[in-house]
Amino acid sequence: MNLRQMRNNQSAVISSLNIGGSLGLRLREMGLVPGTEIMVTGRAPLYDPVKLRINGQTLTLRNNEADHIEVRVQGESK
């Protein structure tokens, strides 16, 4: 399952990033690396970009960028 398919308030652990190049590096720089826990906290009015919590900060990324991030869903809160 990838990040785009996650529902709001669902948390997951990043299992892999299937992208290299500048986007791949950019995602990693922002802390989106395998083993990190994330939680989807919302989406923009038109459902894109997606907003998530990671390492106590909030990141946003477009759905087509979220496609490259494979996750293992952990659970749902609230």
Please report, as ranges, the residues that interact with another protein according to CB under 8 A: 11, 17, 20-34, 39, 41-49, 51, 53, 55-62, 65, 77
Least Å distance, CB 14 to another protein, is 11
Least Å distance, CB 71 to another protein, is 15
DSSP-assigned states of every residue in the chain: -BGGGPPTTEEEEEEEE---HHHHHHHHHTT--TT-EEEEEEE-TTS-SEEEEETTEEEEE-HHHHTTEEEEEEEE--
Quick one: 1 or 30, whose CB is closer to another protein?
30
Least Å distance, CB 12 to another protein, is 13
